[in-house]
Amino acid sequence: MAEKQLISTIKYVAATKPAFFLSEIIPYLDEPLPVHQLFSIISPKLSDMGLMAKKGKGDFEIIRIPPAQPYLMNQEELERQQIFFTKREMPGSLAQSIEKYITKKVGKDWNDPVIIERLRRAIVSQKDDYWKPSHKRSLHYIKGYSVLGYLAYHFPVYLIQTGHLLLMLARDGLLKKSMTILDVGTGPGVVPLAIADFYSRLDDAQATIYSLERSEEHIEAFTYLRDAFVGRSGKVRIKPPTKTDIRLMDGDKLPEKIDLVIFSNVLNELPDATMEVRADIVAQISERLAPDGSILIVEPADEENATRMRSLTVALQKKGLSIYSPCSFIWGSTCTAPRCWSFETAPAIKLSRLMETLAHCEDSYRYVNTDIKYSYAVLRKDGMRKENFRLPAGSKFLRLSKLHLHVGKRINVTGLKMSGELGDARSHVFKLCDGTAKTPVYAVLPSYHITPENDAITSAPYGSILELRNVLVRYNKAHDAYNLLVSRNTKVDPVIS
Ligand SMILES: C[S@@+](CC[C@H](N)C(=O)[O-])C[C@H]1O[C@@H](n2cnc3c(N)ncnc32)[C@H](O)[C@@H]1O
């Protein structure tokens, strides 16, 4: 029996009505079978299709699994989160656990000058490696000091960055009361620890976190920090990481019905992996995603990593995933992410005591890492999008794909603000996107042109949809990009969808 035909028929009928009887699909099949036989073939596959069956008299009613209720934060929970983000620092007990771990690993006090100097060297060599062309990098975290350097330099920023991303997911209603989460390339457990910390400010949410990691040194640090900061029971249960190389992993060993998969700063560490290989890794893991689950991919904000991440999301759309955020296709078009350097920012964090000690020297800037800038995408299997706003047909706005026909002219456009500040205090620059452009587009606002009417371009949050009226189109040959000059005669308004 063509099982494929049966499954695709069920998918088709389920997409057209909320409930139907299994007997209804028999006429569509080339090889009709009795209902109970059809049921035994499809029952293991139903939940992957987001469906369930109710037994009736001689038939089965097929209905959609009701979506899990989103976990919506109450006012007090929101205030607790806000207090945390206003402090802009790691929880004190976690910072101390990192210091104690360093002391335990090196057999001397963490602040012994010899140890501090070794940490400095580890940080510098890790950074040098990071900035090499990607095929020449060797970020393997085999030596103890590379992980200690990571704890000192990267951990605090990535921990708080993950907190911001969790806040965004919570506000979007993508967290559930009880969740299964998988963190891929967990390192010393930055993401699981950030989740435990974030959940400590929620009243009633629970999570079980699984993770994958190949480096023994990272796993050792992860286990120590988990035991010191979270413990093994409580509302967030962090399972021991599975040691594996994600390029060779056995997908059957992953948990089922994962509500949230996170790839934080890991895909860029697969230097020899082509876009197709990266997309295959994400797609393979997404097979274990719950029908209403989300995938969060986060990468550093530098141009190379951010643009690659955006191209990866295009490749993933071809594999059946859809982009929930931050992109929004306001003309209903499909996007190819041309050289798309898009990233989000958050306020810089305060120095940890460890970082302050490291920075107590000449060239202190080399050991200070406080800026939060990241490129992210949330993907789904169910086609849900954060923003469903579409420009109505006949809108009096120019598509960004048509800018080449209007160079030197003043026009009106609608687009999303898709970057933090790319310019400086004299000239503000932000990436703009409406999902149609084949060439990057930037809004440029010289500071002497700022007025209350156009200031929304600087103050609007990342991902906001904006109307820009009366902008001058310029072609920037050096960067093969279009600049839209926002002047004192330009009006910029947020679109309320
Ligand atoms: C930059 S760290 C990111 C750690 C953590 N996710 C974060 O955001 O801070 C990248 C991690 O991915 C791991 N990793 C890189 N390639 C991997 C692979 N092929 N299989 C499993 N883990 C890998 C590294 O060992 C490292 O712990």
Average the pLDDT over 364-368 and give the result: 95
Question: Among 351, 380, 409, which residue terminates a domain?
Answer: 380
pLDDT score of 139: 57
Ligand 1 contact, 281 CB (< 6 A): no
Judge if the beta carbon of residue 217 lies within 6 A of ligand 1.
Answer: no
Number of domains in the chain: 3
Ligand 1 close to Cβ of residue 126 (< 6 A): no
Residue 208 tokens, joined = 């079980």
pLDDT at residue 393 in the model: 82
Tokens coding 303: 């141009």
Residue 370 · residue 402 · CB < 8 Å: no
- Which of 90, 238, 269, 298 to mutate for ligand 1's pocket (most ligand atoms within 8 Å of CB)? 269
- Tell whether 385 is covered by a domain: no
- Assess whether 159 and 233 both reside in one domain: yes
Segment 65-69 shows an average pLDDT of 81
* CA 370 to centroid of ligand 1, rounded, Å: 20
Q: Residue 460 falls within a domain, yes or no?
A: yes
- Nearest residue to 65 via CA among 322, 387, 288, 293: 293
**Across residues 174-181, what is the average pLDDT?**
96
Instruction: Please check the confidence at residue 418 and state whether its pLDDT lies above 90.
Output: yes
Instruction: Supply the pLDDT for residue 144.
Output: 76
Q: What is d(CA 231, CA 192) in angstroms, rounded to the nearest whole number?
A: 12
Give the DSSP H or E segment for 94: helix 92-106
Same domain, 364 and 404: no
Domain final position from 40, 64, 88: 64
Instruction: Please check the confidence at residue 384 and state whether its pLDDT lies above 60.
Output: yes
Give exposure, 118-146, as e/b (b: 16+ Cβ within 10 Å): bbbebbeebeeebeeeeeebeeebeebbb
Domain shared by 152 and 254, yes or no: yes
Residue 433's CATH number: 2.40.50.140
Q: Read off the pLDDT of residues 269-315 as tens digits, 9 standing for 90 and up.
A: 997 889 999 999 999 999 999 999 999 999 999 999 999 999 999 99
- Residue 60 sits in the same domain as residue 85: no
CA of 176 to the centre of ligand 1 (A): 26
- pTM confidence score: 0.89
Per mean pLDDT, which range of 110-114, 202-206, 267-271, 334-338 is the poorest? 334-338
Same domain, 446 and 489: yes
Asked if residue 443 belongs to a domain, the reply is yes
Same domain, 106 and 35: no
pLDDT at 404: 97
Q: Is residue 389 part of a domain?
A: no
Residues 235, 328 within the same domain? yes
Domain with residue 328: its CATH number is: 3.40.50.150
For atom 26 of ligand 1, the residue with the nearest CA is 187
pLDDT (0 to 100) of residue 234: 82
Q: Find out whether the beta carbon of 269 lies less than 6 Å from any atom of ligand 1.
A: yes
pLDDT confidence band for 137 (50 / 70 / 90): low
With respect to residue 461, please indicate whether it lies within any of the assigned structural domains.
Answer: yes
Give the domain-ending residue among 64, 84, 110. Answer: 64
Query: Among 147, 153, 214, which is best to mutate for testing ligand 1, by the most ligand atoms less than 8 A from CB?
Result: 214
Tell me the mean pLDDT in the region 431-440: 95
The pLDDT of residue 497 is 67
Domain assignment of residue 326, yes or no: yes
Q: Where are the alpha helices (DSSP H) in 300-412?
A: 303-318, 353-358
Q: Mean pLDDT score of the chain, rounded to an integer?
A: 93
pLDDT confidence tier of residue 397, bands split at 50, 70 and 90:
very high
250 shares a domain with 210 = yes
Same-domain status, 285 and 149: yes
DSSP letters, 194-249, are HHHHHHTT-SS-EEEEEEEE--HHHHHHHHHHHHHHT-SSSSEEEPPPEE--TTT-
Domain of 132, in residue numbers: 75-380
For residues 421 and 346, membership in a common domain is answered with no
Same domain? 85 vs 150: yes
Ligand 1 mutation target, pool 127, 266, 302, 373, most atoms within 8 A of CB: 266
Domain match, 422 and 365 both: no
- Residue 395 domain flag: no
Residue 110 lies in a domain: yes
Q: 251 pLDDT band (50/70/90 cuts)?
A: confident
Q: Is the confidence at residue 133, as pLDDT, over 70?
A: no
| Cα distance between residue 50 and residue 11, in whole Å | 10
Count of Cβ atoms closer than 10 Å to residue 203 Cβ: 12
